[in-house]
Amino acid sequence: VSKLVQRGASVTVVMSADAQRFVSPLTFQSLSGRPVRTGTYDLVDSSDPQHIALTERADLMVIAPATANVIGKIPNGICDDLIPLMVIAAACPVVFAPAMNNRMWEHPAVKNNIARLREMGYDFVGPTDGWLACRNVGPGRMSEPGDIVEFIEQKFAAETKQSQRV
């Protein structure tokens, strides 16, 4: 978030309930300088559903970390929280930065869902091999923030960075 803001992007952070167990929304509000969206029914405007309003203002969506859970929901149309709702409603490119245990990453269901998402036109950055939260070493580590930003800049180099909203 900070690296994108430093490059002139206007970043709106959306957090799942599980993500909020790891990091406080206040952290991302401080980094982005904008309110953090945490729920499907936290309305931006009472006359406009949040998942539509937020996606209409975005030039790009980055799902980081993209868990096996969210990677499984989207190709199956499961929209039970704000993040998959926004991805399904998005009119902009979406980039996933997967992060999960190496056995989860290598599971056939996850591989199948990733293949389906790629067929739908979604992009992926990472994961990389490395030390995982479960204390294993292997594939599934989320790409470093700088690498994610570099991927975004390379992929969308034609976009004017000053006007990007992520």
Please give the positions annotated as active site: 134
How many Å apart are CA 32 and CA 70, to the nearest integer?
Answer: 23
What is 100-135 written as a DSSP string? Answer: --HHHHTSHHHHHHHHHHHHTT-EE---EEEE-TTS
User: Can you point out the beta strands (E) in the chain?
Assistant: 61-66, 94-98, 123-124, 128-131, 137-141
